[in-house]
Amino acid sequence: MSLDPVWWAGDGVGYIDQRRLPAALEQRTARSTAEVVEAIATLAVRGAPAIGIFGAYGVALTAQTLSPEDFAAAAARIRAARPTAVNLAWAVDRVLAAAPHYLREAEAIHAAQRASDRLIAQAALELFPPRGGVATHCNTGPLATGGDGTALGCIIAAHRAGRDVHVYVDETRPLLQGARLTAYELREAGVPATLIVDGAAALAMRAKGIALAIVGADRIARNGDAANKIGTYALAIAAKYHGIPFYVAAPCSTIDLRLASGTEIPIEERGPEEIRAFLAASAAPPEFPAYNPAFDVTPADLIAGIVTEAGIARAPYEESLPRHVRGAALSQVTSP
């Protein structure tokens, strides 16, 4: 079965319920704005580009199902369903600006993401040595983007191009996107890989011949600071210490040039129960205080380069990222 995480279903927005993976590959349909918002907020659909595409289809659905008076407020609810990944707000704004051709614009965003993923993977190929371990964090494959994936798409493309890669997959506490989703996608793609707990990443760098670290992003500020799943920052620090190049792969829709630095990126904080329980079993004393930021910001000086559909951006990012965003906008096929 295809791992396309979202699609237009005629009377709603179809999606794979990623909360159920890898135990079940379950397809569902959101038939109202509330169901779209709920699917995003509960991570049934997750990953920055995928929630952007899903939100865009959600606006098209809302236009069909709600009266014009209720439409703007409902679209705003979709836009605010999760705060960190800028792709969601970006996609909702783009679809709203295409009024009344909402569905056509959502489809164009989906198609553009597929094209971006392919270009990102091509650009990243030169970063992969002939053989060696590759560290990654969270899930950045097809399930996260609606295309071939960003960081994981690069890894899978490098494997297909004959690089002898072995992936070290962080399990990605607390919701285990690495263990549940990345391991699943790597197995589907036939890429050699080993699962590790997040705390084992530094040791794996020392002991397992890791030559490259590559992750995705949810929002990248103008200076190159990059927000991604909690734990990414620690992985970048460990990579720096061990002299391992640390790359971010993301489409230009993830770059937010309005923000001067990562300190301005809103970090989603999720409920403490996600930490206090582990796969429904209690994992900490009830009511024990818990702090659960879903993302962190990796400072630009830990990042060797940012791979986009326009190539590899290098420091100073204040100069390279605007060039990438302009280049991607020019090369994108605008919807008629």
> Could you give the residue numbers annotated as active site?
218
Distance, in Å, from the CA atom of 95 to the CA atom of 107, rounded to the nearest integer, reads 10
Q: Cis bond leading into 22, ω under 30°?
A: yes
Q: Quote the CA–CA distance of 23 and 5 in Å, as a whole number.
A: 16
Residues whose CB falls within 8 Å of the CB of residue 239, separated by 6 or more in sequence, listed in order = 135, 205, 213, 245, 246, 302
Fill in the amino acid letter for 154: C
Would you say 182 or 320 has its CB closer to ligand MRU?
182
Residue closer to ligand MRU by CB (options 150, 308) is 150
CA neighbours closer than 13 Å in the CB half-sphere of residue 252: 23
Cβ pair 298, 236 in contact under 8 A: yes
- Are residues 228 and 215 in contact, defined by beta-carbon separation less than 8 angstroms? yes
Instruction: Considering the complex, state which of residue 46 and residue 94 has its C-beta at the smaller distance from ligand MRU.
Output: 46
Contact 256, 223 (CB under 8 A): no
Interface with ligand MRU (CB under 6 A): 43, 46-49, 85, 138, 140, 144-145, 150, 177, 216-218, 228-229, 294
Q: Which is nearer to ligand MRU, 35 or 63 (CB)?
A: 35
Q: Which is nearer to ligand MRU, 14 or 83 (CB)?
A: 83
| Sign (positive or negative) of CA dihedral 233, 196, 43, 108 | positive
Query: Alpha carbon of 245 to those of 128, 215, 242, 295: distances in Å?
Result: 10, 11, 9, 21
